[in-house]
Amino acid sequence: MKIFRFKLVFILFLLINQVIAEERVQGRRSLVLENEIARLVIDIAGGSIPEFRFNNSKLNPLNWGSRNSGDQPGTMGHFLCCDRWGPPSEAEAKNGMPYHGEATKVVWEVQKNIETTSAGINVRMAAELPLAGLRIDRSVTLASKSAFFLVNEKIINKNKLGRIFNIVQHPTIGPPFLDENCVVDSNGQLGFAQRGLMPRPEQPEFIWPSAITKEGKQISMRQMIDSEDPSVTSFVIDEDFGWAVASNRKRGLLFGYIWKRSDYPWFNHWWKLKDGKPHARGLEFGSTGLHQPFPVLVKKREIFGRQLFEFLDADEDTTKSYGCFLSKIPEDYLGVDKVMIEGNSLVIVEREKDVPLKIRISTEGLISQ
């Protein structure tokens, strides 16, 4: 009898800590991870992350893209570019390879229901990319008591031959979080605009947050006012961890990412106006900084001493990760000087103040030095 009771209690424990994986969010098949502080939504048809916000606020920085009802794969919020960043070659396009690869064009498989573990609230999903011959195994963990989540993605080459590939995370922020008051900071360094021609597409060079327009004017890219030139720019990361943070002091919110340079050595930035107002900003980070088909990448090989692609042998795999976070900020917040990992916390240090505000966000051990 005692054994039966123990088994019954154990089964109830599993049922309590493992919830139904799938919900409908705005009419779409979704996974919802939620703690007392924050809510994270993952779209199943395409694998995008269209929502990450505080529970007590409707303000969602990732409010961008086509989030129409239905089960067709779509691109929205934070989406994944894999096996490439940018266009296919003419021959690849004729064979059906889409822009930015297939990750947002397929329905992802939920491998394991959402469950609460000692590490946080976790779900696992996977995608097969048929033309690329790659498989992506993804694990997403929302910290149990903070506005922080960690994503681990294993890329597996299912081909019988080795191949080159790229993987670029493409988070895109949109209104109302994105407006004229929204500021972007990063520790990107030497960079260039994606309009140069071979053999020196990296000319002219500049250092974040500076950029040079088509007319040769130097601008700051921290704040988007009335121009989207240069449209796409790329910067190398020199520190062990790269980071990019968008903050809007008028709306009292900060949103950002942190990642290992060894996983993603490039920070890529994209912005777009609509009706003269900020419409989209891509805080992209990845394995390449050149937005061109593979034949161009192979010919160029590297820029600023950084490779422009990676290689996976047959049946080989590689795993990459990143963290994402939210924080509330005061109305006099000036932006971010640096993001550090101290123990089980992220420390976000304000810029341009004698006594800068230091925001601490618990990672609950999900990410470490």
Q: What is the pLDDT of residue 6?
A: 47
Q: What span, in angstroms and rounded, lies between the C-alpha atoms of 270 and 83? A: 19
Give 189's pLDDT tier (boundaries 50, 70, 90): very high
Q: What is the pLDDT of residue 298?
A: 98
Give the model confidence (pLDDT) of 281-316 as tens digits.
Answer: 999 999 999 999 999 999 999 999 999 999 999 999
Cis bond leading into 176, ω under 30°?
A: yes
Nearest C-alpha neighbor of 78 from the set 47, 100, 119: 47
Give the model confidence (pLDDT) of 123-163 as tens digits.
Answer: 999 999 999 999 999 999 999 999 999 999 999 999 999 99
Q: What span, in angstroms and rounded, lies between the C-alpha atoms of 138 and 157? A: 15
Average per-residue pLDDT for the chain? 93
Q: What span, in angstroms and rounded, lies between the C-alpha atoms of 304 and 290? A: 11
Which residue has better confidence, 117 or 34? Answer: 34
Q: What span, in angstroms and rounded, lies between the C-alpha atoms of 60 and 177? A: 7
Give 1's pLDDT tier (boundaries 50, 70, 90): low
Give 21's pLDDT tier (boundaries 50, 70, 90): low
Q: What is the pLDDT of residue 17?
A: 43
CATH architecture designation of domain 2-324: Distorted Sandwich (2.70)
Residue 14 has phi, psi (to 5 degrees) of -65, -40
- Domains of the chain: which residue ranges? 2-324
Q: Is the pLDDT of residue 11 over 50?
A: no
What one-letter code names the amino acid at 239? Answer: E
Q: What is the pLDDT of residue 3?
A: 52
Q: For residue 8, give the H/E element and its range.
A: helix 2-17
Q: What span, in angstroms and rounded, lies between the C-alpha atoms of 229 and 227? A: 6
Q: What is the mean pLDDT of residues 217-239?
A: 94
Q: For residue 142, give the H/E element and its range.
A: strand 134-142
Rg (CA), the chain: 21
What one-letter code names the amino acid at 307? Answer: Q
Percent of the chain with pLDDT over 90: 88
Cis bond leading into 209, ω under 30°?
A: yes
What one-letter code names the amino acid at 335? Answer: G
Nearest C-alpha neighbor of 40 from the set 115, 173, 178, 148: 148
Residue 294 has phi, psi (to 5 degrees) of -55, -40
Residue 164 has phi, psi (to 5 degrees) of -85, 155
Give the bridge partners for 287, in sequence order. Answer: none
